[in-house]
Amino acid sequence: MAEHIKRIGVLTGGGDCPGLNAVIRAVTKTAIWQHGIEVVGIEDGFQGLIEDRVRPLSARDASGILTRGGTILGSNNRCNPKRYCVRVDPATGPVWENVTGQCVDTARRHGIDAIIVIGGDGTMASAAPLVEAGVNIIGVPKTIDNDIVGTEITFGFLTAVNTATEALDKLHSTADSHHRVMVCEVMGRNAGWIALTAGVASGSDIILLPEIPFDLDHLAENIRFRMRKGGPGFAIIVAAEGARPREGQQIVDRVDPTSPDPIRLGGIGRWVADEIAARTGIETRSSALGHIQRGGGPIPADRILATHFGYHSIKILMEGKRGRMVVRQGNVFGDVDLLFAAGKQRLVPPHHPLIEAARAIGTGFGDGKTREPALDSEAMDSVVV
């Protein structure tokens, strides 16, 4: 047991995500009520450690926040203590410094014995130099992308899937009414978990994943098939922002040179829609959900998952463990070395069971491997649209 733990800090790094407040609530109340540990909140992720912005967190502060989206502590996805942009030189660009020492000093100044770091793979990578400097960090995996190595699921993912599925359901009705092709771009960076899960849940006709490069000729032929006489007369395509054509590149929306992770993907949905329209002559529209997927309150499943993660972060801390990240594997909660998860991405296996199930019912992935049913009346009666 870790009886020497008297005060802990908690911070939320990276992008915002449904369920952050639920974790803060579980961490704070478990620490205070179960172990008599003081809790302080570190504002705006690692920025708060760098700038010494730390404030007490009471059980009352953590009350009533379970259902709220965002984070009461604020967040920051542009701050890595080991490579921190201190200024931008007009001639040479960003000037970087290693400010890990400042973070360690802030923790010591406030008597913080351990820090609960809630974030994704980038946040875990940012925490790595603190672990190496001797700070006890316990990580909680957060990202709507569901791409953290070591855990089968991250909180925020299921809420993002729910949001994307609802949007696809709405696009379904307008596509049917106007006999159009609708392309919906969803988030996920280099991983296709949101696109795959929301695509299957919504009955989308084609799902484009970063892990399965697509062929435009196969894509166009699939669309023509659906628009033929006797066919459904419309099509829904969900595209992960990191999807790319064979022998092509991901589409970059912009580059932020002051960020540790400068590449911002986006635009594949519009590009695919334009290509389909040009190749088939069929009216095609696109919609990008963007940050809508990260906003709003968490659905019940994410509230429960976040509560589990928050509780287990204190549990493993009190077991005397250091530098660990809470995970769930096989629906069982445990922990792994935080450095093992840092800076890596968990991608969708090309033969994932959900992909195989989707192919079996006629969902295309733009690679020509999904068999299309014959266009006779009996077969069309069985087509799931």
| Residues with active-site annotation | 145
Label each residue of 338-380 as H, E or C.
HHHHCCCCCCCCCCCHHHHHHHHCCCECCCCCCCCCCCCHHHH
Q: How far apart are CA 155 and CA 64, in angstroms?
A: 19
**Local structure of residue 24 (DSSP, 8 states):** H
Q: In 3D, which of 159, 146, 337 has the Cα closest to residue 240?
A: 146
- The pair phi, psi for residue 164, each rounded to 5°, is -65, -40
Q: How much helix, strand and coil, in percent to the nearest 5, is found in the chain?
A: 35, 20, 40
| Interaxial angle between packed helices 100-109 and 121-132, expressed in degrees from 0 to 180 and rounded to the nearest 10 | 70
- The pair phi, psi for residue 254, each rounded to 5°, is -165, 165
Q: In 3D, which of 92, 100, 10, 28 has the Cα closest to residue 65?
A: 28
Return the residue matching tokens 């709003």: 296
Q: DSSP per residue over 31-60, as a string?
A: IIIIH--EEEEETTTHHHHHTT-EEEE-TT
The secondary element (H helix, E strand) that includes residue 79 is none
In the structure encoding, which two tokens stand for residue 260, read together?
A: 């540790």
Q: How far apart are CA 203 and CA 225, in angstroms?
A: 17
Q: How far apart are CA 160 and CA 69, in angstroms?
A: 12
Q: Contact 125/80 with Cβ under 8 angstroms?
A: yes
Q: Contact 384/203 with Cβ under 8 angstroms?
A: yes
In the structure encoding, which two tokens stand for residue 223, read together?
A: 């669309």
Strand bridging mode 54-57 / 38-42:
antiparallel
